[in-house]
Every structure is written in structure tokens, then in C-alpha cells.
Homo-oligomer: A and B are copies of this chain.
């Protein structure tokens, strides 16, 4: 018998906005989603939390740069545990736009891209709507 067959299903609990912000502040990798001409796309990116906004960094010639000049976007982080069948996720929904010099975070607090290449385009995803859920193992 598999573990999933004799453990009880987990209970879902909504996270507060403050809990979501705390989780966003602790991480460095998330996933940004956007819509291109054929549908939705979701890609992992490095990010930092700047106030309540998510700031991501990418290359000026990337698909992200092409589609997030000024567009609806969402951003997700999560963590889960295959053994306890538990986890949590946070979803940010609003819009993305290129950042200019006037609203750039200080160099010490900018996101750092793990990948090589010229990644110097910063994109701000505002966080009008933040929701999160935690799945508690039984």
C-alpha cells in the first residue's frame, strides 16, 4: 500500500497577506506567468521582494522581456514535501512593467541572476492581489 493511500488527505488553509509577504521575502527563485499569442507560459526566475512588489531580472532579448514590457502577469512560489504530502504556495497577480532608473532598487537589493549572460533588465510585478494556501499533512 502506498503512503498516499493510508494517510488522511491534508487540510487546506488560506494564508494571510502578511504570511504571503514573509514567504516571498525569504526566497530567491519563483515562477512568472504571462500570456503570449498562443496561451499561458510559466518560467522560473530569480527575484527579490521590493516593498510589496516582486522584482525579477532577465535578459533584454528574452521571451520575458518581449512579453512583460507592460502586461498582466502573475508570480508564484511554493514548497512541498513528498514524504508528508504537505506544502504551501503563494500567488501574486497584477501587472508587470519594465523598471526605469527612477524606481530601481539599490544595487545591494537587486535580484541576482544565477544564469550567465547580460541580465540587466529589471521588471516590477506589482502585487495588487496576493493569495496563498498551506496544505497541512494529517
Contacts and interface: CB of A to CB of B under 8 A. Distances in A.
Interface in A68-123: 71-74, 76, 78, 80, 82, 85-87, 89, 91, 93, 95, 112-117
Identical copies in the complex: 2
A9 interface: yes
A47 interface: no
A1 B10 CA distance: 42
Nearest to A76: B42
A15 interface: no
Nearest to A138: B116
A4 interface: yes
A135 interface: yes
List the 6 shortest-distance A-B pairs measured between CB atoms, nearest first: A39-B72, A9-B116, A33-B40, A33-B42, A85-B114, A42-B76
